[in-house]
Amino acid sequence: MTVIGTLSVMPVGEGDATDEIAVAADVLDEHGVDYEINAMGTVIEAEDVGDLFAAARAAHEAVDAGRVHTVLRIDDDRDSTQDSAERVAAVEKALGREPTT
């Protein structure tokens, strides 16, 4: 089973957040989850919801700021084995495009 989440970790009131976001992404590497950074956050895939929560918590805690705002959305589709790449490919196909995977 694959659990997919969208994570956004942002230091508040710290100016340019790029370095702290990179620190949070490094922590995801240490947790062995698959992820893809985009302009609005990070899509994470994990084997189970516990792994996803652990990775998100570690990313949140890694940000060195007086205030950190974190948003986590989880899609725990227990009846499907489709990963995020397959979901994107299905939408591309519905649009009549070649999947970009």
pLDDT, tens digit, 9 for 90 and up, residues 1-59:
689 999 999 998 867 788 888 999 999 999 999 999 998 899 999 999 999 999 999 99
Q: How far apart are CA 60 and CA 53, in angstroms?
A: 10
- Domains in the chain (CATH in brackets) are 3-94 (3.30.70.930)
45-63 confidence digits (pLDDT tens): 999 999 999 999 999 999 9
pLDDT at 14: 67
pTM for the model stands at 0.83
Handedness of CA 18, 19, 21, 25 (dihedral sign): positive
Q: Rounded to an integer, what distance in angstroms lies between the CA atom of residue 14 and that of residue 35?
A: 25
Q: How far apart are CA 37 and CA 27, in angstroms?
A: 13
Query: What own/partner pairs with CB < 8 Å and gap ≥ 24 does 35-41 have?
Result: 35/7, 36/84, 40/8, 41/6, 41/7, 41/8, 41/71
